[in-house]
A = this chain, B = another copy of it.
């Protein structure tokens, strides 16, 4: 069960929620929305991916029996609403988002394995945990989804999730596997940000 996950994962989880909630609120700011929309977007982006993961693996949805998670999203939305958007936007957020992406992909794969999910779907759960919140946010906002851009984004989540599952399968201790996987995912996403790396598109 989830309780066997090291408590460091709790911090990965809270960090991911806050970073993604801010990125959701920033999209609301860019679209000149109201505070209610800020909160809605912060919540959807912050907890959407983990919610989908929990529904799919049959875990109780992680934010339903605690007040803290939604409150983090509400505070994140208020922060973005009250301060200048410029404080959060730009490259700083990109790097926080990269850290959130790597943390969430690793955490999602670890939680799935801890719930007895098979390796390939556990890998998929890591990707979903990291990416689904942003995808739902983009669909709700009528924006072209991150899915449709050649940028290395989903791929970095796939690297972190895949590495964690592979290392866990060959018997590496969970904290070590998580550290290696998280750093690798963050490094790949970071390279994409710093150097503009992207995947080749299909051509026939």
Contacts and interface: CB of A to CB of B under 8 A. Distances in A.
Interface size of A as a range:
35 or more
Contacts of A158: 36
Interface string A32-62: 1111111010010000000100011110110
B148 A31 contact: yes
Interface of A: 28-29, 31-38, 40, 43, 51, 55-58, 60-61, 63-67, 69-71, 81, 84-86, 116-121, 124, 135, 139-142, 144-145, 147-148, 150, 154-155, 158, 198-204
Chain B CB within 10 Å, residue with most, of A85, A135, A140: A140
B64 A202 contact: no
Nearest to A115: B64
Stoichiometry, copies per complex: 3
Q: Could you say which of A29, A70, A121, A158 has the most chain B C-beta atoms within 10 Å of its C-beta? A: A121
A13 to B, nearest CB: 16
A46 to B, nearest CB: 12
B202 A32 contact: yes
Query: A34, A56, A116, A200: which has the most chain B beta carbons within 10 Å?
Result: A34
